[in-house]
Structure 1
Amino acid sequence: MEKLNLGVIVAKIDVQNQVEGVHIVMPEPIFYKELARSAAKHKIDLYIFSPSEWTEQGLYGFRLYGNVWRREIVQLPDIVYDRCFFTNARQRQACEDTLDAIKRKKNYKLFNNNLPSKLMVYEALRTVEELIPYLPHTEQLSKLSIVPRWLSIYTDGVVVKPAAGMHGKGVLHITHDRTTMQYVIRGRNLRNERVDACFSNELNALKWLYRFKKELTYLIQPYLVLRTEDQKPFDIRVLMQKDAAGVWQLTGSMARVGFSNGLTSNIHGGGEASEPFPLLAAKMGDYKAERLLNKIHMISGQTVSAIESHFGRFGELALDFGITPQGSIWLLECNSKPGRQAFSGVNNNLENERPLQYAKHLQQRVTANQIVI
């Protein structure tokens, strides 16, 4: 079998010209170095590239030599591992245009399909009877008049968040105090800065929300009490990956714990990762903690199968679960580009090994002219 060319596309690579030479700043520096070192052991030619590296001369990529990234001309990828995290529409379009241009030169395979909007994923999962009890009620925030109606139903308030993933940015918790008649809004803006606002009437609250969300598509959900005893928000992130045989496996699960009285537990927002069992056992006892984790892992397997049946082939997916103080499980989100901070070093670097194993499996199936599943 020919050597596998695995191209990892990112939205941007920062190349800095300094006195001592060129300095390369990768968007996920630790992850990509670990991935490149593992790829060398698998005899995979792995390189990182961005849209700006597609030129008339061909594709330039960054390969790791020792501890240093070097930019050089590379062969077109057999498989593309999409790790583009966009900060604007222009970046998204540039990545799409680059992949289309490369596709016209070489018929590569994508490691992962892209997930559509959170609402489309929610609606797809709602078609699976076994998953319905774990899905919080979700609607598009098409009209701001929805908010007061929802607040009259859900006494703990509502959460509004961008339909596209923002690493916890732009998420708000809105409550209506029926005693003081005040509307209280807290969360983080799109610059990841803390937001605290209070309004004495509905109209002013909705005007503020209109300016806040701008033209972005937002979703609304009931606020779920998902906190530790010291009022830190937490969730359980499960990483599901395919192995060398193309079979879904549970790579690991980690608890993500946010700031005290914060709204999200996202690592990008300052949250920390910890082992889930001790956290749950301290709240509910060993027996119930073990049962909850086993249940979450079972739901995870059902979820990735449902996602593939609706949206095509994937190599890895991260799933976020919330657990209420009463022990109810809620599937909060699915992510096709999971960050690695929470799983660094899990199971002897298995979270970085499995993408490479599955990439080799993909290449073998394509070479054998078999249908890739």
Structure 2
Amino acid sequence: MMPGRETAARRATVRELSHAAVPAWVQLGHAVIRLPSLWEPDQRTLALPGAVLDAFGFDRGQAVYVFPADGGQRLVVGPLVGIWVTPAMLRSWKRGVRLLSQEVRGAGGIPFFFDLKGVDRAGGRIRGWTWQGGRLRPVTIPLPDVIYNRATFPDPGPRAAARSLRRALWEEDAIPFVNLASGFPKWETYQALRFFADTRPLVPETVRLEAPAELAAFLSRHRLVFVKADGGSHGTEVVRLRAVAGGWWIEGQVGRQRLRSRAADPAQVVEVLSRWIAGGVWVVQQGIQLPRLNGRRWDLRVEVKKDGTGTWTVPLIVVRLGHPATVTTNISRGGTPFELEAFRRRFGPLPALAGLKAKATRVAVRVALALEARFGPLGEIGVDVGLDPQGRPWVFEANAKPQYGPSPRPEQARGLMAYAVQLALHAWAGREGGVNRPHPVASLQTFAGWAG
């Protein structure tokens, strides 16, 4: 059981204060504010002024946690759950925004969304949005109790700024994170999985491409090979090298350019690739002959997420039936997704499907444990798993922030949002017990967002 369940916090219902009340110190996130309130522990209700509820994104009647501190002189209320996204996500992902808000509130937290530009650490506040009444509404919120990190930054400038901010929020402000890592570079992922005995047999041979001779030697050992950009995603920056009669067939995508070529020998393969993948970090990975269905290769994306107790679980397994014209099975490259059981119903009891759910779950949980040991606190991982002709599972790569898809389901978020709330409660207990994490709360003067 996660230690957060042992805090003195009590779950209570929030309602609007209907009459005058004595002002008291109320802590929300990293700010302490003096305002009228009425805490009735026997009834497990907390009444706050309507203006406060609106300012901080409370829903009337929602459940929160209340922790009487300093002998009841200060009420710690929340937790505030900051969900770090990008503006593009907010514009295009209303179903996901609504779902995450619903599940945070269901777990007893107060959700809000923010992006890179909204954080004002010096002021102890964040300008963000809350989902209420079927729309996003702007709010200014204190630094939160916990951050669920969903933001990705393909451009180097914002990525570096986000990395610096994430480090400051974690190390200096001592805010717990769900998903501290920004991503899993392929070479570091391979090294992490090779380090542990439980995951070492799961990864195909992989080398970092540093010299042409390395690729030529690799091709002498394997007749199917993938060359991948270390930080590539969505099936881009991937080239497949396949041995055919009379040489090698080269195909894939680098940036927006499609690559299709033939080479007579490994030396010519190196010559062709050198014109396409100059610069950056690339890895070379042993290819696995995947099972086929109607001429299309298929593999698995396994979602592994923590639940409210901090235990890794697998809420979703998706079969990716690859597009015949692409070298990967990625859905973004034309692959067709099926939930595992839907795939079984659609195409029948294929031999490769026997015991696959248990096998994929076991593999994904082992990968999650290994990657968390390498990359720091995580909450969710997307693991790409394929089967060879003998049914042996192989892990090709992992995704630090797996996509929920256009129609996310509650089971994809419920356990993880409960984990975020419990992580914050654990931090409350540590702070009140004198543990350095989280950092002592900011003073009243550092939060200028409340003018009540």
Bucket of the pairwise TM-score, normalised by the shorter protein: 0.7 to 0.9
Q: Where does residue 18 of structure 1 map in the other structure?
A: none
Contact 2:119 2:127 (C-alpha < 8 Å) held by counterparts: yes
Deviation, 1:259, is: 0.8
The answer on 1:47 being equivalent to 2:81 is no
AA of the residue aligned to 2:186? K
Deviation, 1:187, is: 1.5
The answer on 1:98 being equivalent to 2:146 is no
The answer on 1:364 being equivalent to 2:425 is yes
What are the residue-to-residue correspondences of 1:227-242 with 2, within 5 Å? 227-242=291-306
Contact 1:158 1:173 (C-alpha < 8 Å) held by counterparts: yes
Q: Using a 3 Å threshold, how does the CA distance of structure 1 residues 227 and 104 change in structure 2: closer, same or farther? A: closer
- Report the count of equivalent residues: 355
Contact 1:83 1:337 (C-alpha < 8 Å) held by counterparts: yes
Contact 1:322 1:330 (C-alpha < 8 Å) held by counterparts: yes
CA–CA separation in structure 1 for the residues paired with 2:320 and 2:421: 31
Where structure 1 has 5 or more consecutive residues not aligned to the other structure, the ranges are: 16-23
RMSD: 2.9
TM, length-normalised to structure 2: 0.70
Q: Where does residue 136 of structure 2 map in the other structure?
A: 69
CA–CA separation in structure 2 for the residues paired with 1:249 and 1:269: 28
Q: Where does residue 274 of structure 2 map in the other structure?
A: 210
Deviation, 1:305, is: 2.3
Name which of 240, 258, 282 aligns with 1:173: 240
Q: Where does residue 326 of structure 1 map in the other structure?
A: 390
Deviation, 1:171, is: 0.7
The answer on 1:146 being equivalent to 2:214 is yes
Name which of 108, 130, 139 aligns with 2:198: 130
103-112 or 146-155, which deviates more: 103-112
Name which of 375, 380, 393 aligns with 1:316: 380
The answer on 1:160 being equivalent to 2:224 is no
AA of the residue aligned to 2:371? I
SS of match in other structure, 1:296 = helix
Deviation, 1:143, is: 1.5
CA–CA separation in structure 1 for the residues paired with 2:165 and 2:377: 21
Name which of 149, 157, 166 aligns with 1:82: 149
Contact 1:158 1:223 (C-alpha < 8 Å) held by counterparts: yes
137-146 or 307-316, which deviates more: 307-316
Contact 1:254 1:342 (C-alpha < 8 Å) held by counterparts: no
Name which of 7, 13, 18 aligns with 2:87: 13
CA–CA separation in structure 2 for the residues paired with 1:336 and 1:61: 23
Contact 2:219 2:266 (C-alpha < 8 Å) held by counterparts: no
Q: Where does residue 326 of structure 2 map in the other structure?
A: 262
CA–CA separation in structure 1 for the residues paired with 2:296 and 2:169: 46
Q: Deviations over 1:5-59 (max 9, x none)?
A: 111223x3159xxxxxxxx625x44322321232233342222222222357642
Deviation, 1:282, is: 8.2
Contact 2:177 2:377 (C-alpha < 8 Å) held by counterparts: no
Q: Using a 3 Å threshold, how does the CA distance of structure 1 residues 205 and 126 change in structure 2: closer, same or farther? A: closer
AA of the residue aligned to 2:324? S
Q: Deviations over 1:53-77 (max 9, x none)?
A: 2357642112212332223322212
Q: Using a 3 Å threshold, how does the CA distance of structure 1 residues 317 and 6 change in structure 2: closer, same or farther? A: same
Deviation, 1:287, is: 6.9
Q: Deviations over 1:194-213 (max 9, x none)?
A: 43233457666434422322
CA–CA separation in structure 1 for the residues paired with 2:351 and 2:288: 24
CA–CA separation in structure 1 for the residues paired with 2:337 and 2:323: 12
Deviation, 1:256, is: 1.5
Deviation, 1:281, is: 8.3
Rg comparison, structure with higher value: 2
Q: Deviations over 1:221-278 (max 9, x none)?
A: 1221224222323211221221112222221211122212421122222322112246
AA of the residue aligned to 1:82? N
TM, length-normalised to structure 1: 0.84
CA–CA separation in structure 1 for the residues paired with 2:99 and 2:115: 19
Q: What percent of counterpart residues are identical?
A: 23
Q: Using a 3 Å threshold, how does the CA distance of structure 1 residues 289 and 203 change in structure 2: closer, same or farther? A: closer
Deviation, 1:361, is: 1.1
Contact 1:252 1:343 (C-alpha < 8 Å) held by counterparts: no
208-217 or 83-92, which deviates more: 208-217
Q: Where does residue 113 of structure 1 map in the other structure?
A: 180
Contact 1:231 1:261 (C-alpha < 8 Å) held by counterparts: no
AA of the residue aligned to 2:201? P
What are the residue-to-residue correspondences of 1:267-286 with 2, within 5 Å? 267-277=331-341, 279=343, 285=349
